[in-house]
Chain A
Amino acid sequence: MNRVLRATGLHKSFGDTTVLDGVDLDLDAHEVVALIGASGSGKSTLLRCLSLLEPIDDGQILLGEEDISDPRIDANRVRARYGIVFQSYNLFPHLSVIDNVTLASRVVGRMPRRDAEARGMTYLDRVGLADKARVHPDRLSGGQQQRVAIARALATEPEVLLFDEITSALDPELVGEVLELVRSLAREGATILMATHEMAFARDVAHRIVFLDGGRIIEQGTPAELFGSPREERTRAFLARVSH
């Protein structure tokens, strides 16, 4: 398998609080990995550190062959290689849907507007929202907004997709449309690392489940292993709490 991401010994603290306490994580091409764990276990921070949105205190991150934790690299260029989707969508309210999707191509990729829009439309079409291209995000439902955010992340043609609890802010009846989209991206071979509270979904879609607790990876394995016969006591306790 072709490794796209390798993190070793990641440490991160905010003041006195240690959020990541020596995390090692590999991600192969076309692999779908779900990060599970309680709130505050470090899932979001891990995603932010991997994408250089948060500086790390120690450790190393390799994206492809490149050491992106080296302060001499161009962080903006590295971030452009990721596609990140946030819990609360974070669409730009002053831009139309198509402008949201094409912004990175136009500004970072210096692509002419026409080409960027042509490409953007294929991704909007991909998430089923081509007819909403000219409206502003506030006119869309939460599920639609999150699908636009996914199209925005896809439009940069990233090497890795990072999803940070992308269904947590959605009404229950809107979760399905977003998960369905993620499922089809996984089927098409996207490389995805997602923090999620949707255990059933993680079990169904992910190739590997990683359980984080207290800033460490406690246990990881295939969904069958981790959900079927967890080895660690803390994993069992967490799964018992969320499945009730």
Chain B
Amino acid sequence: MTLHEPSALELERRAFRRRRSQGSILVAIASTIALAVIVWATLVNTPGWALVQESFFNPEVALRSLPRVWDGFLLNLQVLGLSVITVGVCSLLIATLRTLPGPVFFPLRMIAAAYTDIFRGFPFIIVLYLVGFGIPTLTGQRIPPIVLGTLCITLTYSAYVSEVIRAGIDAVHPSQRLAARALGLGYTQTLRRIVLPQALRKITPPLMNDFVAMQKDVGLISILGAVDAVRAAQIMNAQTYNFTPYVVAGILFILLAIPSIRLTDWYTARLRRREQTGSVL
């Protein structure tokens, strides 16, 4: 292939685009600085700012509370890690049950539908109370909070995630199933090889959205009495009479969320590059 020499017309257009994008960058920088100054000036001039700074953004307390909050945060991470697996398995199972054809599976479809209806409507905090205090009473044994926490998250999130997966399954065009069945693939083989892979690609953004929501909801397991990041922050708050530990815990949760959000963007962009040609407007 010979290298194409751009025409004068194209060169002029490129120069224009460059000037325009340089202009946009300058405007963006200016407006960001302006906004920051306004916010800062407003904050600093608010009468209670010094007090807020002292009790919410105290570097000394932050440093002191970090080790304990971090230890608690590790428990949140464990519950999260376990939940990702259990929610993944359960929601996939429920979504599959809900899409099974034929009258034989009516009871299974109905149970799955009832489950998703109930647990999507149930406030998570009530699930925590009922499961967290009900199940140990029922079994008469102390159950580690990591197990109870994972159970609660799984019960609630499987309901949401299974609906997202079901929507993805329904969104795969019927002609794809037809083509797979025409090749001799069975119902389950078609679901596993053709429908689910395409469904999961379609639903990656909403799935990651649920994942991020789950990341912060694991902070609620403190209700079960577990010493997680939130409970550790509460303890430090009681010791120091300062709210900075909560801010520290909050920042940890944000830091946890950012990589998975970026990962989603990267993943969807990669899929689009691989399976599609041309630019998307």
**B-facing mask of A61-90, CB < 8 A → 1, else 0?**
000000000000000110111101010101
Which residues from chain A contact B180 at a C-beta distance below 8 Å? 92, 103
Residues of chain B in range 140-180 having any CB-CB distance to chain A below 8 Å: 175-176, 178-180
Closest to A140 in B: B277
Interface window among B80-88, B106-114, B185-193, B255-263: B185-193
Which residues from chain A contact B270 at a C-beta distance below 8 Å? none
Residues of chain B in range 166-220 having any CB-CB distance to chain A below 8 Å: 175-176, 178-186, 189, 193-194, 197-198, 201
Which residues from chain B contact A86 at a C-beta distance below 8 Å? 175, 178-179, 182
Which residues from chain A contact B197 at a C-beta distance below 8 Å? 94
Closest to A139 in B: B277
B5 interfacial contact with A, CB 8 Å: no
B45 interfacial contact with A, CB 8 Å: no
Q: In the complex, what's the smallest C-beta–C-beta distance from B88 to chain A, in angstroms? A: 19
**A-facing mask of B244-281, CB < 8 A → 1, else 0?**
00000000000000000000000000000011110000
Which residues from chain B contact A136 at a C-beta distance below 8 Å? 274-275
A104 interfacial contact with B, CB 8 Å: yes
Distance A82 CA – B189 CA, assembled complex (angstroms): 18
- Which of the listed residues A79, A93, A94, A156 has the most CB atoms from chain B within 10 Å of its own CB? A94
Q: In the complex, what's the smallest C-beta–C-beta distance from A10 to chain B, in angstroms? A: 18
By size class, the interface of chain A is 20 to 34
Distance A53 CA – B177 CA, assembled complex (angstroms): 10
Distance A32 CA – B195 CA, assembled complex (angstroms): 34
Which residues from chain A contact B189 at a C-beta distance below 8 Å? 107-108
Closest to A109 in B: B184
A204 interfacial contact with B, CB 8 Å: no
Whether the Cβ atoms of A94 and B198 lie closer than 8 Å is: yes
Whether the Cβ atoms of B194 and A92 lie closer than 8 Å is: yes
**B-facing mask of A120-136, CB < 8 A → 1, else 0?**
00000000000000001
Distance A5 CA – B175 CA, assembled complex (angstroms): 25
Whether the Cβ atoms of A84 and B182 lie closer than 8 Å is: yes
Whether the Cβ atoms of A51 and B185 lie closer than 8 Å is: no
User: Known interface pairs A86-B175, A107-B189, A108-B189. Does A93 touch B184 (Cβ–Cβ under 8 Å)?
Assistant: no
User: Known interface pairs A92-B194, A94-B201, A138-B277. Does A104 touch B183 (Cβ–Cβ under 8 Å)?
Assistant: yes
**A-facing mask of B20-52, CB < 8 A → 1, else 0?**
000000000000000000000000000000000
Q: In the complex, what's the smallest C-beta–C-beta distance from B114 to chain A, in angstroms? A: 31
Whether the Cβ atoms of B181 and A79 lie closer than 8 Å is: yes
Distance A84 CA – B178 CA, assembled complex (angstroms): 10
Between A and B, 6 residue pairs with Cβ closer than 8 Å are: A53-B178, A53-B181, A84-B179, A92-B180, A104-B185, A108-B184
Besides the contacts A79-B183, A90-B178, what 16 more A-B pairs have beta carbons closer than 8 Å? Answer: A76-B184, A76-B185, A76-B186, A79-B184, A80-B183, A81-B184, A86-B175, A86-B178, A91-B179, A92-B176, A92-B179, A93-B275, A103-B183, A103-B185, A103-B193, A107-B193
